[in-house]
Chain A
Amino acid sequence: MSDRIEKVSIIISKGSLEGVYPGLIMANGARAEGIEANLFFTFFGLDAVHRARHEHIKLATVGNPGLHLATMLGGLPGMSSVMTHYLDHKMAQLDIPSIPEFVEMIADTGAGLYGCKASADLFGLHKEDLIPQVRDIITVGQFYGLAAGGQIIFT
């Protein structure tokens, strides 16, 4: 089949639970199908590969109409933690790995993990602030170089 996808480069730009998982699932799924995959973490998406923060990624309970929760309730202190805890529990039942475990697993599949230089500069982050599976902090130009010949997915 000539129309087979051979390579995907997935950008993760959000730092919420629902903003991080889809890109991880798509990257892992690509590798399972034998498709080459790169992950590029930019802006708040960098939290998913941040040593201190990747275990604390939370569900957005404000400005998230999909939750069907009154906006004022979503903003109550601790609401995001409670909802995240509930979702973590549901995901554990389905054997969906936590974000730190999932990211490590994706690195083990041979996918390339990269941080965005502009975002790292903006937040004052260096390679040592990120988990060791991140191969490098690269510019957008380098990202396009890596992505050449494949599909780019922005999440």
Chain B
Amino acid sequence: MTTATYAEREVSLDAEGFFTDPSQWDEAEAPAIAAAEGISPLTDRHWEVIRFMRREYEEKGAAPNVRALAKTSGVSIRELYQLFPKGPAKLAAKIAGVPKPVGCI
């Protein structure tokens, strides 16, 4: 486990950079996490996906994979990859301060 400082707040991360304690996250931290992943600035569409990811995690206890994200958020797979080229579900989860989505599909 490591720590990082986003928006002047120290947070705990796992080896891949995902939050181990989602309660340490707030929206002010998101731009710094995104920038560290090469996404800057965050557009409204990015925010839509990030907030959706956060809500899904809070409601269901797990972050959706890309297919589920596209199905439920209404943002197409094609657009998701345009917004987050290095893996939409993975990056949106990381920026939203929730654990990495699991599953093979």
Partners in one complex: yes
A residues near B (Cβ < 8 Å) are: 25, 28-29, 31-34, 95-97, 105, 108-110
From DSSP, what is the main secondary structure of chain B's interface residues? helix
Please, which residues of chain A bring their CB within 8 A of the CB of B78? 108-110
B105's partner among A33, A34, A96, A109 (CB-CB below 8 A) is A96
B67 engages A108 (CB within 8 Å): no
Task: How many A-B residue pairs have C-beta atoms within 8 angstroms? Tell me.
Answer: 41
Residue total for B at the interface (Cβ-Cβ under 8 A): 17
A34 engages B85 (CB within 8 Å): yes
B77 engages A33 (CB within 8 Å): no
A32 engages B77 (CB within 8 Å): no
Cβ-closest chain B residue relative to A35:
B87
B residues near A (Cβ < 8 Å) are: 65-68, 76-78, 81, 85-91, 104-105
Please give the distance in Å from B92's CB to the nearest CB on chain A: 11
Cβ-closest chain A residue relative to B101:
A32
A31 engages B81 (CB within 8 Å): yes
B68 engages A31 (CB within 8 Å): no
B104 engages A110 (CB within 8 Å): no
A33 engages B81 (CB within 8 Å): no
> A95 to B78, alpha carbons, bound, how many Å?
19
Please, which residues of chain B bring their CB within 8 A of the CB of A29? 104-105
